[in-house]
Structure 1
């Protein structure tokens, strides 16, 4: 497989998020290792600032430059850099923002399920479980997002 053969799908949201993605590992049958090619438009991000409570991620920067926000710090990234973001809480939250040119990278992750993500900036939590064969995330068995402030007591309604 060549990266140039991958068909990218674009995702945008508001003024901050604009990126294109192509799965690498799922179409080849991988179920416990995720990988995708990501291209982020200049000055934009692919995803909100988030952490994974059960999955590690590695980003291999192929082209361009940008900024990695990790926990409470920021670092520049450029082609050739490898960024490791371990599973954890808000102290491991991360986000890549493209600089003046397109930021192109491969994102690699463990695929432990369910995946629980926390978004420190917006106070949200997301749980994902079970994508269809080939990595079709639109067909997950479970996909739920809520604000932490909306939580109820474990015994509520029992």
Structure 2
């Protein structure tokens, strides 16, 4: 293993959803031999965002802007961003919700780093939904996306309850 990665040489996975979301991404964590830190590279075209406005209850994130310009929506505010900026997205409630949007004329390229929590709850303030996900050391995983209105009583459906 060579512990050096050049993102431009890696195969990027294209994602597009609707008219606002589009990106090309690749996880580089395993390529670096890292197990407790999530690292990925993203390219977002002009006028697009790579993901919805969201916050993590357990996972801290840092973004390093490599090229381009955009807006960093964080909590109730928006901040202009450019190459060389380092953005923090600490774990917390909706006050730490975040989203990167490309407002420039060229692709916005950045690195994402996270503590890669084994379990997390992600909230999406704009749509009122949440995601619960967890994984274990063997790679087994669980993921559920819903809204608080779908909550059941703890004892719902249990035998003899």
Taking structure 1 as the reference length, the TM-score comes to: 0.90
Unaligned runs of 5+ in 2: none
Q: Is 1:12 paired with 2:16? A: yes
Query: Is residue 2:41 matched to residue 1:37?
Result: yes
Selected match of 1:25 from 29, 35, 38:
29
Find out whether 1:154 has 2:154 as its counterpart.
Answer: yes
- Corresponding residue for residue 145 of structure 1: 145
Offset at residue 132 of structure 1 (A): 8.6
Q: In the TM superposition, what whole-angstrom CA distance separates every residue of 1:39-65 from its partner, at most 9, and x where no partner exists? A: 011111100000010010000000000
> What's the counterpart of residue 122 of structure 1?
127
8 Å Cα contact 2:118/2:136 also seen in 1: no
Work out the number of aligned pairs and report it. 153
| CA 1:83–1:18: 2 relative to 1, 3 Å | same
Q: What is the alpha-carbon root mean square deviation over aligned residues?
A: 1.7
Q: Which moved more, 1:56-65 or 1:97-106?
A: 97-106
Structure 2 distance, partners of 1:53, 1:105, is 23
Q: Which ranges of structure 1 fall in alignment gaps of 5 or more residues? A: 134-138
Helix, strand or coil at the partner of 1:4: helix
SS at 1:47 equivalent: coil
1:94-127 CA distance string (max 9 Å, x none) = 0000013211100000111112100011111101
Highest Rg: 1 or 2? 2
Pair 1:14–1:140, CA change in 2 (3 A): farther
The equivalent of 2:109 in structure 1 is 104
